[in-house]
Structure 1
């Protein structure tokens, strides 16, 4: 559906530009944006490689394991059914830990594994359990200790202080995660 929306917007934008006699400006803008996009992506790839390396060092040094040990008791309280199963809880902990450290690529396989494990525990097949819904909310609104993607984008676009986003990101993501958990817990009583 989103592809159709984008196509319609681009098509009508070009059509209006051609009708109003701005075809030359459209061509220049398209060519200029391609060049800018390629330069941006090259800068972003380098920065993402750097952050992935930093996070790999954190993983090898045991930082992610220490963080997961801190999270496990908290998540046992938050998740009802999944907390009783070590495989499900382990995948949830690793997903949230990876997300907190900005390792989105590493978090995805753990997220898929966590959903599979929770689906195995689910009594109503084909319908998301409360734990599955809560996990989805936590996965989307996870607390970001190191928002590496945003830092990389800010650096690639020439920000004077790309790391200035860290404290606001921690505050905003903590509020979002807390609001998400509270909302899920309230709605679980009614649905």
Structure 2
């Protein structure tokens, strides 16, 4: 549905530009935007590769293992339906660790694997409590180092691209706590109704 809406907006915009006589400005904007998109993508790729390298170094140094051990008791409490030694817990921990470092693109495959493991565990096509909780937690994604946003700010010559780190930590902490509270509220509300 969203694709249809975007397509309609583009068609209406082009049609209006043809009637209004500003088609040359639309063409110029299309090519400028395409050029900006390519430059931005290349800049983001370099930053993503850098941070993935840092993650690999952290993994080899044992930092990710320490973070996983640190977060494991919390994750086990948040996801009580998943057995402690189940592979889903490992994927959830990897996903959360990648999100903490602002590597949403790297976190996505681990999140998909976690969802597959939880689906296999539940044995149904209906979203389980753990799947809903993980989706809420992953969407709010606690972030300490917003690497993608820093990269975008660097691409556009921000004077201080890292000044958003503090506000990002505050905002994502509040969003993660809110996501968990809302998830628990609706879970217990549905249990109470039954």
Alignment partner, residue 156 of structure 2: 157
Supply the distance in 1 between the matched residues of 2:159 and 2:189 (Cα, whole angstroms).
Answer: 48
Q: Shift of residue 158 of structure 1?
A: 1.2
Equivalent residues of 1:81, 1:121 under 8 A apart: no
Deviation at residue 54 of structure 1 after TM alignment: 2.2
Find the counterpart in structure 2 of residue 166 from structure 1. 165
Structure 1 residues 175 and 83, CA gap change in structure 2 (3 angstroms): farther
Q: Which residue number in structure 2 is paired with residue 86 of structure 1?
A: 86
- Which residue in the other structure is 2:147 paired with? 148
With 62-71 and 96-105 compared, the bigger mean Cα shift is at: 96-105
Cα offsets for 1:98-134 (capped at 9, x unmatched): 22122334322321222222223226x1211111100
TM-score normalized by the length of structure 2 = 0.89
Deviations 1:38-63 (A, max 9, x none): 33323332222222222222222222
CA distance in 2, matches of 1:136, 1:167: 24
Q: Show CA shifts across 1:125-166 (max 9, x none).
A: 121111110011111111101111111111111111111111
The residue aligned with 2:109 is 109
TM-score (norm 1): 0.90
Cα RMSD (Å): 1.7
Secondary structure of 1:126's aligned partner: coil
2:162 is paired with a residue whose SS is helix
Verify the 8 A CA contact 2:75 2:93 in the aligned structure 1. Answer: yes
* Preserved CA contact (<8 Å) 2:48 2:103: no
Structure-to-structure mapping, 1:52-131, within 5 angstroms: 52-122=52-122, 125-131=124-130
Q: Structure 1, residues 1-41: CA drift from partner, whole Å, max 9, x if none? A: 22211111111111111111112222222222223333332
Higher deviation after alignment, 57-66 or 171-180:
57-66
For 2:88 and 2:34, the matched residues in 1 are separated by 44
- Please give the alpha-carbon distance, in whole angstroms, between the structure 2 residues aligned to 1:127 and 1:52: 34
Count of aligned residue pairs for this structure pair: 190
Could you tell me whether the CA contact under 8 Å between 2:136 and 2:179 is conserved in 1? yes
Matches within 5 A, 1:1-40: 1-40=1-40
Using the TM superposition, give the Cα deviation of residue 83 of structure 1 relative to its aligned residue in structure 2, in angstroms: 4.5
